[in-house]
Amino acid sequence: MADMKKANSSLAKIREQIDKVDQEIIKLLNKRAELAIDVAAIKRKADLKFHSPEREREVIEKVSSTNKGPFPNDALKFIFREIISASLSLEEPLRVAYLGPEGTFTHLAALRHFGSSAKCLPVQSIRSVFDAVESCKADYGLVPIENSNEGVVSYTLDMFMDNELKISAEVLLEVTHNLLSQSGELKKVKKIYSHPQAVAQCKRWIETNLPGVPVLEATSTARAAELTAKHADSAAIASELSARLYDLKFVEKRIEDNKHNMTRFLVISKEFPKKSRKDKTSIMFSLQHKPGSLYDALNPFEKSGINLTKIESRPSRRKAWEYIFFVDLEGHIDDEKVRKAIEKVKKSCLFLKHLGSYPSHEKPKNE
């Protein structure tokens, strides 16, 4: 009994210290917000761009590099992303167009990259994302470009052919599927809603745990969650974000058959950022239809020691048997060896277009 009293007394003292620290954090956050408002006022008066992704990246890199623990760095980066997002929203929240509806993995990727205080604008197509940014209805757009299981999103590549928007960032998101319902009880599930792609990625789990239960097609995983919120005997295969948006419970988490399913998204805007410590450059080009043309075009990269991380080809849609090549390479266009190599590549091409240079996504340890 004496040990318990002593422990309770010690806990009370430590909790009192925690409460004081929490109050100090609140004061400092508000002080930081006031300074952010001052910065916004100066930018507005000087007609400067209010959002600086370079400064944002610098802040997050600085706090993580100076963190001595025990607070984990990945959590610290997430917290500061939210602090910056909230500070921006006090003056002018970022407007981010994404392929909707709400609750999709694209929506989740937008929140991960821009923070929950950004104004996320769901639109009905990838083309509409590009149009929203081009018409200044959105500051940024976010579109899927490839999935580790399903491959490249061809329509996104096609949009870059006729559009002058730049890639300003990339986001890698682990795709995890969850079975959601109103009750959270497996025995009450009489039908399943989801997008065909999500169903295919969870086929083995469904056959093992819900054999014979009908699976109904939905236009998206978010739409599946919306339908499940209206039918007590149904379940949806959807994201964790959908569970929050539609007030659903988890029947089972992570039911995907492949636990290493990643989707890559591109952030598009009217300009690309300055150099960071680790960048990626994307280009597209077309070649004459003759033997060795692709080898000749890519040879300058090999000679310059530049690593190509991706190459895709698409029909040009302008001429039969003419192809457009999309290439990702390590480095920034402002790097001398990258710039010179691209200039040499251009000499072998019918045309070459720089799509953007941007920071390579660093995968957090807990993703």
Return left, alpha or beta for 321; rule: phi > 0 is left, psi -120 to 50 is alpha, else beta.
left
Q: Which of 130, 265, 272, 326 is catalytic?
A: 265
In whole angstroms, how far apart are CA 166 and each of 41, 55, 137, 156? 28, 19, 16, 13
Alpha-carbon torsion angle 193, 196, 199, 203, nearest 10 = 130
130 included as an active-site residue: no
For the beta sheet containing 279-286, the strands, ordered from the edge strand earlier in sequence to the opposite edge, are 308-315, 323-330, 279-286, 351-359
Q: Which ranges in the chain belong to alpha helices (H)?
A: 2-45, 53-66, 73-91, 105-114, 126-134, 154-161, 196-201, 203-209, 221-228, 240-245, 293-304, 336-346
What 3-state DSSP class applies to 201? helix
Per the listing, tokens 């205080």 go with 117
Tell me the C-alpha distance between 202 and 215, whole Å: 11
176 included as an active-site residue: no
Tell me the C-alpha distance between 309 and 326, whole Å: 11
Q: Which of 224, 137, 132 is nearest to 181 (CA)?
A: 224
Report whether 180 contacts 228 (CB < 8 A). Answer: yes
CB atoms within 10 A of CB 215: 17
Report whether 306 contacts 205 (CB < 8 A). Answer: no
CB atoms within 10 A of CB 266: 26
Q: Which of 104, 156, 221, 263 is catalytic?
A: 263
Beta-bridge partner residues of 311: 327
In whole angstroms, how far apart are CA 44 and each of 37, 50, 51? 10, 7, 11
Residue positions annotated with a catalytic role: 263, 265
